[in-house]
Amino acid sequence: MIRNARNCDQQPEPKASNQSKSGSLNTPRRKWQKRLWLGLGVFLLSGAGAGLTGAWLFINRKLAPMVEQNVENILNRDLQLGQVEGFSLNSIRFGSSALPPTPTDPDRASIEALDVTYNPIKLLFNRTLELDVTLVKPNAYIEQDEEGGWISTRIEPQPQGWLKVDLQVVRVRDAKVSLVARGIQGNLLAPVEADVSSGKVSLLYNNQLFRYDFLANLIGGGNLELKGESSLQPAQTNLAISVSELNIAEVAQLAQAPIKLPNGQLVQAPIKLQSGQVGGNLEVAIKPEQLPQFVGDLTLKDVAARVPQLPKPFAKTRGRLRLQGTQIQLENITTLFGQVRAQAQGIVDLQSGFNLSAQTKTVTLKQVLQTFDFKNLPVEASAEVQAALKVTGALNNPIVNGQVATTKPAQIDKVSFNQINADFSLPSSTLTLAVNNLRAKPKAGGIVTGEGEVKLGSNGKALFDFQATDVPAEAIASSYNLKLPVTVGLVSGSTSISTSLENLNNLRANAAASLKLADGLVRAENIVVENGRWQGLVRATNISVAEVIKDFSKTPLPQQLQGRFNGLFNVSGSLDSFAPESISAKGAGNMNLAGGLVTVTNVDFNNSLASALVQADGLQLGRLIEVPPQLQVPLNGQFQLALNLEQLSLQGITGNGSGTLKLADGTVQASNLVVADGNWRANVKAEDVKLGKLLPQLPPEFSGALEGIFNLSGSLVGWQERAPLEMINANGSGSLKMPVGIVEANSVNLNDGNLQAVIKPVGINLGSFSQQLQGNVNGSVEVAGKLGNLTPVALGKSLRANGKLNFSEGISLLDRQLDTSFVWNGEGIEIQKAQAQGLLASGFIDVNLAALEKQNFTEAIGDFDLDIEANDFDLEKLPLPLPTAASNVDIA
């Protein structure tokens, strides 16, 4: 109309003929019309301006505060609505607005602009303000509350008033959203950020039902489409989620948000997602006090996740997840745990927990150790193993059970094993790996069983018990290129081992073992291994000394020294070597030997050198060395001995001591006994030794008490080849106290079986030997000869003697003192001089030793050839057959 008013002033001029005819008639009417239109135009413009002004005032002063207040009432929280930036008949645009946090709700949002549309007809005629709100470029922060909920804002129903406000739709456009989840301890996790390109929430049935539809892109990658609805009565939510190439790293924090179980308990997923992608479609139904219900398929691509208690993450996980109800079924899931590849299948149920099985690919022992962050083993080990796993238990406490076995022969240190297998379990609540039914079969034979546990994590440690049965010690030792010092059979034993996972070399073990050795039994008890060394208690039972010596020396132990040994020793050494020079021992033992007992105390073995205090009780001398029966008597003594096991022989024995020999009702005491370089020496004292019992062949007259002091020496070797007396050297003196007198032996020297001595008879009563003899005999005789056979005949033949004898009352027909000097040559007596009053004789008397042995002294005198000078000598007194004797005797 304004445009038309302007055109009235620009009417074209009429033609001249018309103007001339009607110009005067129409002039008043045209002026009136002009004024009418001008007034109407002014009125309309004024009305429009007033209307616009009124509308502006209504929107700013009435409608905007009304919208703000009603939205605040609906949301039950403050809304900072911006200034009106524009409006139309059915819409209003507000400027920068905000939804600030409250003391109880940290959720907040800033909005670049807020568009509100409504139906003006319903507003005017029904007094109903139906709001359709669009949030333009909002930036929202949404935080999970401590109860596990996400949005605590509640849509409140509004009371009836003169104006009904109905918030029907909330839309978002180009939104940025930060979602912050909480951990199981209530701590805030890192935010998950997304760009929401479009979204819509419809509020239906008096705000009892909400339908929503969102399209979003995660900042870190991946697309998300979310559709669903939530109702208040009954309270439930149904979601339809579609994701593609979703970066798990972006939603990992949301996955750590706890799930509220029907019993009110909050549980957290046992796995922490780290990286990878997921895609698929998923429907979720959520009801209060119930577990979520799922339907859908998800595909995993190179997903990495970690169980906090395990040292390494699961990486490169691929496969499919099928979700139905509370169950998540794993299909063809492959993963890499550290350096261990595995394939898994089974079900994870939000209600009942885990029911998964897995099989690992063949993997080396080194890779397994690196996976569990084990440091270098104290010994070299190589093996290839494979495992079958079963995961069961509740979501917050899964338990891993399985079996592991070698796929080919393994080697631990120097020992080869044909097969090693074991069962194991790993509860996540304790992170203690329990190993049971461990069985290892050494290639050499026998079986090793065991069980134990490994506490993983910081300050981790391992504790194992092993039992070895019938393991061949010789074969195991040969694996180390060791030659055991003695022949050892099958070994059985047990050990407990503990060590820190931070330093496997800091190993401690307690062990016990038994083995058959030298026809006996050796038990090792209370063995402790620590700091690279070992020590323990070794008990030897019924060990054949001869069998042990056989391993040390090519020369067999003499039969007489072969006994059975029993002992108890504290033994220690280094794990680096089990050679004899590396072993130390202290202890005591005993051995039944030669009918007696040898007790060994103060045993000290170190660096192949051994020393001990040896106590001999009741050893039968005759069973130790070859001696006449009369010398087979018990021997007692105490000796300090030492020997070198690297030169184990009689020559290698050194020692000193003393001993006592009960001999022929007397005592032989050896003091200052010294053994060295295969030889021995001692000071020997004989007291009250009955010679008659030593030499029963001697006449009873010689069965006196033998006493003396001698220095003895000899060799410890060669007893088999030589006579016993040839092995003994002696010097000293003694005496024989007989019933008929005393025989003294001075300057006695025995060397290589040869005897030298000075024999002095003192007051020997000759009448005791024969009725034809009387008086006493005294003198000095030097004796020399070979001591082989100790019978009288043998001694008489082997010995030589010379000396002087004085007969106090003569002999036989002589009734006067007789002085003689003679030589014994083994067959008879050469009388160098026999002198008595009125008699001087010399010559040779043949002696029958056999008759002498029978104590027949008359028959012992055989032929004789004497030169006699006699004066007033009565021949009739000669106890000889005179005719025969006279013919053979020349008397000068």
Quickly state the pLDDT bin for 371 (edges 50, 70, 90): confident
Closest CA to 395 of 432, 361, 354, 363: 354
Highest mean pLDDT among 265-274, 700-709, 851-860: 700-709
Cβ-proximal residues to 64 (8 Å cutoff; 6+ apart), any chain: 81, 84, 92, 94
Q: What is the pLDDT of residue 590?
A: 94
The rounded distance, in Å, linking the Cα atoms of 141 and 152 is: 13
Highest mean pLDDT among 546-555, 641-650, 738-747: 738-747
End-to-end Cα spacing for the chain: 214
Quickly state the pLDDT bin for 448 (edges 50, 70, 90): very high
Q: Is 875 helix (H, G, I), strand (E, B) or coil?
A: helix
Is 511:524 a contact under the CB 8 Å cutoff? yes
Cβ-proximal residues to 582 (8 Å cutoff; 6+ apart), any chain: 573, 574, 576
Residue-averaged pLDDT of the chain = 81
Closest CA to 121 of 83, 90, 93: 90
Quickly state the pLDDT bin for 885 (edges 50, 70, 90): very low
Q: Give residue-wise pLDDT tens across range 55-88.
A: 455 555 556 666 666 666 666 678 888 888 888 8
Residue 299 has pLDDT above 90, yes or no: yes
DSSP at 105: -
Which pair of structure tokens corresponds to residue 51? Answer: 């209307």
Residue 115 has pLDDT above 80, yes or no: yes
The rounded distance, in Å, linking the Cα atoms of 434 and 425 is: 5
Q: Kindly tell me the sign of the dihedral angle through the C-alpha atoms of 250, 251, 255, 256.
A: positive
Residue with token string 């992608």: 277
Residue 41 has pLDDT above 70, yes or no: no
What mean pLDDT do residues 435-458 have? 90
Q: What is the pLDDT of residue 42?
A: 42
Higher pLDDT, 814 or 818: 818
Is 467:449 a contact under the CB 8 Å cutoff? yes
Residue 601 Cα distances to 494, 587, 644, 664, 794, angstroms: 29, 6, 17, 31, 45
Higher pLDDT, 352 or 551: 352
Residue 410 Cα distances to 340, 368, 420, 424, 464, angstroms: 18, 14, 8, 19, 19
Q: What is the pLDDT of residue 367?
A: 86
Q: What is the pLDDT of residue 49?
A: 42
How far from chain centre, in Å, is Cα 281?
51
The rounded distance, in Å, linking the Cα atoms of 382 and 137 is: 62
The rounded distance, in Å, linking the Cα atoms of 350 and 292 is: 8
What is the percent of the chain where pLDDT is above 70?
81
Q: Give residue-wise pLDDT tens across range 548-567.
A: 777 666 667 777 778 889 99
Which segment of 130-144, 256-270, 272-286, 654-668 scores lowest on mean pLDDT? 256-270
Residue 741 has pLDDT above 60, yes or no: yes
Highest mean pLDDT among 80-89, 374-383, 726-735: 726-735
Quickly state the pLDDT bin for 587 (edges 50, 70, 90): very high
Q: Give residue-wise pLDDT tens across range 148-159.
A: 677 766 666 656
Quickly state the pLDDT bin for 610 (edges 50, 70, 90): confident
Q: Give residue-wise pLDDT tens across range 762-801.
A: 988 877 776 767 888 899 999 998 887 767 777 888 889 9
Residue 361 has pLDDT above 50, yes or no: yes
Residue 29 has pLDDT above 60, yes or no: no
Closest CA to 135 of 110, 156, 105, 153: 110
Quickly state the pLDDT bin for 9 (edges 50, 70, 90): very low
Which pair of structure tokens corresponds to residue 398? Answer: 């899964």
What mean pLDDT do residues 106-120 have? 91
DSSP at 886: H
Is 470:492 a contact under the CB 8 Å cutoff? yes
Q: What is the pLDDT of residue 709?
A: 94
pTM over 0.75: no
Closest CA to 394 of 242, 228, 543, 265: 265
Residue 35 has pLDDT above 70, yes or no: no
Q: What is the pLDDT of residue 60?
A: 54
Which segment of 202-206, 518-522, 575-579 scores lowest on mean pLDDT? 575-579
DSSP 329-386: EEEEEEEEETTEEEEEEEEEETTTEEEEEEEEPPEEHHHHHHHTT----SS-EE-EEE
Q: What is the pLDDT of residue 269?
A: 66
- One-letter-per-residue 3-state SS of 606-647: ECCEEEEEEEEEEEEHHHHCCCCHHHCCEEEEEEEEEEEHHH
Higher pLDDT, 852 or 477: 477
Highest mean pLDDT among 22-31, 43-52, 167-176, 783-792: 167-176
What are the domain boundaries of the chain?
66-310, 740-892
Q: Is 291 helix (H, G, I), strand (E, B) or coil?
A: coil
Quickly state the pLDDT bin for 856 (edges 50, 70, 90): low
Residue 584 Cα distances to 1, 570, 624, 642, angstroms: 127, 8, 30, 14
What mean pLDDT do residues 616-644 have? 81
Residue 654 has pLDDT above 80, yes or no: yes
Quickly state the pLDDT bin for 853 (edges 50, 70, 90): low
What is the percent of the chain where pLDDT is above 90?
29
Q: What is the pLDDT of residue 7?
A: 37
Q: What is the pLDDT of residue 113?
A: 93
Which segment of 182-191, 600-609, 679-688 scores lowest on mean pLDDT? 182-191
Higher pLDDT, 445 or 396: 445
Q: What is the pLDDT of residue 11?
A: 39
Is 699:665 a contact under the CB 8 Å cutoff? no
Residue 806 has pLDDT above 80, yes or no: yes
Which pair of structure tokens corresponds to residue 526? Answer: 């209370």
User: H-helix or E-strand containing 548?
Assistant: helix 545-552
Residue 624 has pLDDT above 80, yes or no: no
CB neighbours of residue 144 within 10 Å: 23
Q: Give residue-wise pLDDT tens across range 307-329.
A: 766 778 889 999 999 999 989 99
Cα dihedral: 685, 689, 693, 699 (round 10): 110
